[in-house]
Every structure is written in structure tokens, then in C-alpha cells.
Amino acid sequence: MKPWSAKLPPLSGRALTGIGAGALVGSFYIGTGDIAIATKMGALFGMDMWWTFFVLGLAGWTLMDMSTRYYLRFGRTPLSIFKEVHPVFSIYLFVTVVVTTIIGAYSQWNTCAHVLGTLNPAIATEVGGTLAALTATGLLVLGVYRRVELFFVVALIVLIGLFAAAAAAADAPWSDAPAGLLPNVPESGRQEWLGLIQQNAGSLINAWLILIYPYTMIEKGWRSTRPLGQALILQRSRWDYGVGIAAAGIVALPVMAAAAAVARPFGIVPENGTELAALLEPLAGGSARLLFLAGFFIAAWTAGIGWMVCGAYAMLDLGNIKVRMESRSFRQAILVFVVASASLLFLRINPVYGIRIFTVLLAVVFPVVALVMVWRISRPDMGYFRWSLGSVRGAVVVGLDIFALAVSLFVGWGIMSRFF
């Protein structure tokens, strides 16, 4: 089959019902950091930066598309590429996976504890965070993949509803949203504007997001050896992770709108979701505060689960162990991560230090992962999925791959410049 020339039928209703892993992917995009970024954007620029979630999300979509194409072509996850490069790199990846997963999950449990402590000061950080971690563990250890996937779909819908209801109670400026989809540069505050774009890029695009989707394909049995079958699976997968990435922008909208309504008019810039919730209460009522805090808790909790799922998948893959959510090995990996991440709550480690270690590790590995992926999917042995400039679709794919690589290097440079 000639690359990118197949005329594929539209997805059937049955195929669309199989879409759901994108919600799991979306949990990575919608964590505490993403809510904080959307809050600052709304407080400083109103709805004007909404477009960044979709432009940067397109780069994230393309990076996931690379890993999906590689998996469909060879039946191997992208980590197999790096395992073959050099043993030292495999060891570095393994350490990075373990450390970033523990720190990533810990930061989400810490936020869950902070939300619970805001609602009831009697709940200590150690208690609230541990409860969040244990309930997350129960879902993963006792559940099966299909049910976990369905849970994330429902949680994503509830999350959007909670934030939208809180923003509506604050009389959010919804009419400004369409203009926010058009790329623009503010006349003032350009330094803060560029900083937020870098933060958003680093949040929406990271190494594990490139690698996670093929694991969900393994769980669902999405595999074919026929070119047409591979093309149909790729079509379905693109819709799936496209929904997950778009969800980040949809969730960001009511958060930005709430900040634009209650913070921007007074020149206040909340640092996180709990500070924004506190501003909602005197201006929109206690119910708006509770709705927003509930949404913030769900965002942190599901992001913590997402970190552990991706970490367990990657750790088992690097150890050449079968990757299945129902396997004993997967559940043991989850238990290791939950014990390690929850233990940091009792050590009272400042999350800022953990995030710095986490960021530096990813800053080193992420550009390398992106470069290797672009190199690998451009090779002639990619078959149907190899680069092709002979058609409009093929040229678009090549252009998006190069765009995603450029954004990846921009993210790595931005992170390194802040710390070094």
C-alpha cells in the first residue's frame, strides 16, 4: 500500500465506542501544574492564551502519533528503541522513570491533602495524602483495564462539569473565549506571557506522554499485520488520543474564565487552584468554592493515578516483563510506587525540591527521546508509515513531526535555561 494514500472509511459508531484510552492520557495533561498554569493565564491575560493549549497540544498529539506508528509497524513499544541504543541509556531511563513517577505521584497526593485540609483543617497532610494514594491503589490493584479506562472517561466528564459550574457561578466572561482561540501577543507583560507558554509546553509535552499510548493499545488488543488494518487502527487511535489532548484545553477554559472573573479585575494572581477557590467564595458564593475544590481534587487524584500507571508500564517494559494491568508484576509495581510516593508525605519534603529534580531529569531525557523518535519513524523500514512527501496527507505528517521536534527542543531549552 502506498504511504498515506489509502482512502479510509469514516469511523463507525461501534469504533467510536472503543475510544477511551485518551481519557487516561488526558489525566497526565490535567494535573495540579496545568490547573495552576490556567489560573495564572486567566488572572493575567483573561482568555487570550486559550489557544496555547491547542497549538502545543498538537505537538503532543504528533509525538504520540509517532510512537503509535512505530508500534503498529513493528509490534514493539518505543522504549524498545532506547533499550537497544546502549545499556547505560537504559539504566538512565529506568532511574528517570522510577524517580519522576514517585515525585509526580507525590506532588498530586500532596495537593489532594491540601484540598482536604482546606475543607477540614483537622485532616493532616499525611492522612489526606495517604487516603488519596490508597484509594487510587485500590482502583488499580483491584480493577481491570477496561473498567479503569471507563472510570477515567467518567471522571473527565465530571471534572469538566465541576469547573464549568464554578466558573458560571462567578459570572465568567464566556464571550471572550472565541477570541482566545486566535494566536496573539499581548502589548504588555510579554515576559510573563512567554514564561507561561514555556510552562504550558513543559506541562503538555513530556517524554512519558510520547511513550504511554502503545501500552493502552496492547491492553485493548489493537494490533494488525495487514497494512489496511494498521491504517484503520491508526485512524481510530488518532481520534482517541486527540480527545484526551483536547480535554486539556476544555478543562482549562472554565479555570481561566473563573480566574478572569474573580482575580484579574483586582490585579490578583493566584498561584494554584486552592487560592483561586478562596477568591471564588466572597464573589460567587461558598458553593462555587466547593465545586472548584472538588474539581481540583479530582484533577490531582486522577493525575496521580496516571503517573503510577505510566510508571508501572515503563518500568516493566524496561525490565522486559510482560505489560498488562491485570498482571501480578504490574500490581507489585503500583504498590512500590504508592508506598514510595506516600512515604514522602511523612518526610515532609518540600514539593518544590522534588519538582526541581523531576524537571531536570526530564529536561535531559526529553529532547533525546524526541530526536530519536523522529529519526526512527523517518527510516525506510517504516513501510506504510514511512515519511512521504508524495501526497498532501504525507506532507502534513512530515510537517507536524518536524513541528513537534522543534517544540520538544524548545521545552528542553526552556527547562535547562531556568535551572542552569
Successive 10-residue mean pLDDT values, the chain, 420 residues:
56 58 76 88 94 88 88 88 76 84 91 94 93 91 84 90 94 92 87 84 71 87 84 87 86 94 92 91 89 94 91 89 89 94 85 64 71 83 76 79 78 61
User: Within a domain: residue 3?
Assistant: no
9: in domain = no
3-state secondary structure 108-162: HHHHHHHHHHHHCCCCCHHHHHHHHHHHHHHHHHHCCHHHHHHHHHHHHHHHHHH
The pLDDT value recorded for residue 11 is 59
Would residue 160 count as lying in a domain?
A: yes
Domain span holding position 249: 20-419
pTM of the full structure: 0.90
**Residue 372, pLDDT score:** 82
Q: Is residue 254 part of a domain?
A: yes
Per-residue confidence (pLDDT) for residue 34, from 0 to 100: 85
Q: Residue 214 burial (CB < 10 Å; 0-12/13-18/19+)?
A: buried
Other Cβ atoms less than 10 A from the Cβ of 395: the count is 14
Check which CATH number belongs to the domain holding 318 and give it.
1.10.4160.10
Confidence at residue 164, expressed as pLDDT on a 0 to 100 scale: 94
Q: What is the pLDDT of residue 19?
A: 64
Residue 358 contacts residue 206 (beta carbons within 8 Å): no
pLDDT of residue 131: 95
* Residue 12 is assigned to a structural domain of this protein: no
pLDDT at residue 262 in the model: 94
pLDDT of residue 181: 93
Q: Locate 12 and state its grid cell.
A: 463507525
Q: How far is CA 241 from the centre of its chain?
A: 10
Domain membership of residue 11 (yes or no) is no
d(CA 247, CA 243): 6
The domain tally of the chain equals 1
Q: Is residue 32 part of a domain?
A: yes
Is 10 within a domain? no
